[in-house]
Amino acid sequence: MGGQACVFYGAAQFSKDIDLVLLAAEQNYVRLLAALRDLNARRIAVPPFDAPALARGHAVHFRCRGGEADGLRVDVMTRLRDLPEFDVLWARRTTIQDSSGDSFELLAVEDLVQAKKTQRDKDWPVIAALVEGHHKAYAQEPTPERIAFWLTESRTPERLVALARSFADQAEAQAQRRPLLRLAIAGETERLREALDAEARVEQAKDRAYWAPLKAELEAFRRAERGAC
């Protein structure tokens, strides 16, 4: 659900950790703990690894010790901001199989784009690359769903102007949801670039607001752990 998924989609060159979104079910926690024991992974930061913390949107962080995975960080979540429950994400996932037959289950690119709308500046070029990669892969097969995705998520002014010209009716319809598309329809590239920057700032503010109470909880967790020591 994070950088590794972006690598699979060709939108990033590397990632230092593995981010997983997990079905919040008891049997999955048991299986995950067994896998973490195999990796000699230890929790490295607050919050604690428990269902209530995960249900509130926290990520739990682990570091692997020894073996081929030595030093690898694994982050686990069960809830993502502005995304549906796990069963919906799972139903529309992307499955990639490598040459050895191993399968990797990724967030659908549409969901991954939403997940990357964070307060971190570094995530926004990745979003642009994800959408551009999707367009490159499916430009010759422009279904209504794909057109809607490109029009609502593309972050490149030139791409949006080209899409608005190619799919004028769809662009007009999507402009109700994303008003900056009216600038794309008019071909006003520079104003569109400014509007895209403003749109990103709005999303970054939403992400900061989402994490503010969770960060306060993290501070409480840290104080409690220091007191326990």
Per residue in 33-50, pLDDT tens?
Answer: 999 999 999 999 899 888
Question: How distant, in Å, are the alpha carbons of 45, 93, 119, 129, 191 from that of 154?
Answer: 35, 20, 18, 9, 15
What pLDDT does 24 receive?
Answer: 87
One-letter identity of residue 221: F
H or E segment to which residue 42 belongs: strand 41-43
Residue ranges for the chain with pLDDT beneath 70:
229
What pLDDT does 171 receive?
Answer: 98
What pLDDT does 34 receive?
Answer: 93
pTM of the entire predicted model: 0.92
What pLDDT does 140 receive?
Answer: 97
What pLDDT does 229 receive?
Answer: 61
